[in-house]
Structure 1
């Protein structure tokens, strides 16, 4: 997969190194000569250019990329890069970094953003994930398609423990993506079974999250629902 990254600061270079280690082709774009540190990511391609300029993205042959990542420290730049990548070059997947939480509402499909990455949101989700068993935690929002990456760790009273994955009738617009078990990453094979404390990652539509939580952890779900009702009364 070929990936273009606008912004060759520490964040952009770290992403590039990770992608290169996973066997992808990476092009780093930055207009600041001081950011061009080829020795730090020697296997990447580099382009000294303004990623907000259409001519720069043409030089980068962005139409050949499957993913464009806008990782600069400027939200305006990240929005412009995402919009140009999507509308002018038809890049299938755009990922944009949100630097200031107050700007998060703009990072949507109208600006060509498929996935927005907000550090405060991710950190809060990880805190919730660390303390919750049996509660559905939304880790990520995919702007295109109104779907979310959600996580649930199976509690001891889950009716799904011991069930074959292939026998479970998941809600509509829901896909089990991966099972994390004792440090291992498991593909959800039909013959595999769910076990206590399995961490399940799903891509699910907004409207199916409550149904999914009720399937996997009905007691926790009812307890939380009652608590929310009491809080609202």
Structure 2
């Protein structure tokens, strides 16, 4: 997979290293790129240019890449890069960093963003995921697909403890994609049995989240709070 990353700060470099470790091809674009910066991720290709300029994106070969990651510290730049990647180059997938959570509402398909990642929100979700039992925790949203990845640690008093997955009737547009039990990931199958404190990972539509939570953990709370950015 060929990935172009706009922004070679700590976030962009960290993403690049992880992708390179997984044997993907990576190009970093940063107008401040110099030899010192390039030595920090020498395995990547580099382009010293402004990622908001069409000529720079042409030189980066966006028309031949699989994913564009807009990872700069400027939300305006990340939106412009995502929009250009989609509209001018037809990049299949764009991932954009949201620096200010108040701007998150703009990071959607209208601006060419497939997946928006807000670091503060992701950190909050990971904290909640680590300490809550019986609450549905939204990990992140797939903007283009109008779906979310959510997690619940199944409480011991859930009516589905010891039940077969094949007998579990989920809300509309909801799929169980994984179970983590004793820190070991499990691919769900109809014959699997749920256990107390299983971490359940779902892909679901936002409008199904309340039903899912109330079904798995009845009485936990009446209504999930919604984001109001």
The TM-score with structure 2 as length reference comes to 0.90
Residues 1:188 and 2:184 aligned together? no
Which structure 2 residue ranges, 5 or more long, are not aligned?
Answer: none
Q: Which stretch has the larger CA shift, 32-41 or 145-154?
A: 32-41
C-alpha displacement of 1:197: 0.8
1:163 & 1:109 partners in 2: Cα distance? 39
Q: Contact between 2:33 and 2:47, CA under 8 Å: does it hold in 1?
A: no
- 1:202 match: 202
Cα separation, partners in 2 of 1:112 and 1:227, compared to 1, 3 Å: closer
Question: How many residues are aligned here?
Answer: 225
Cα distance between partner residues in 2 of 1:181 and 1:154: 11
Q: Is the 8 A contact 1:9 1:35 kept in 2?
A: no
Q: Deviations over 1:176-226 (max 9, x none)?
A: 122112121222233322221111111110111111112211232xxx118
2:222 is equivalent to residue 225 of structure 1? yes
Contact 1:8 1:36 in 2 (8 A): no
Counterpart of 2:177 in structure 1 is 177
In structure 1, the gaps of 5 or more residues are 229-233
Other structure's SS at 1:188 match: coil
RMSD of Structure 2 on Structure 1 (CA): 2.0
Aligned to 1:54: 54
- Residue 164 of structure 2 corresponds to which residue in structure 1? 164
Matched, 1:4 2:4: yes
After superposition, the Cα gap between the structure-2 partners of 1:53 and 1:227, relative to the gap in structure 1 and judged at 3 Å, is: closer
Alpha-carbon distance between aligned partners in 2 of 1:9 and 1:141, rounded to the nearest angstrom: 24
Runs of 4+ in 1 over 3 A off after TM superposition: none
Q: Deviation string for 1:7-66 (max 9, x for gaps)?
A: 011110101111122232211111113486333222222122211111111111112222
The answer to whether the Cα contact below 8 Å between 1:171 and 1:212 also exists between their aligned partners in 2 is yes
SS at match of 2:189: coil
Instruction: Provide the TM-score with structure 1 as the length reference.
Output: 0.89
Q: Whose helix proportion is higher, 1 or 2?
A: 1
* 1:29 equivalent in structure 2: 29
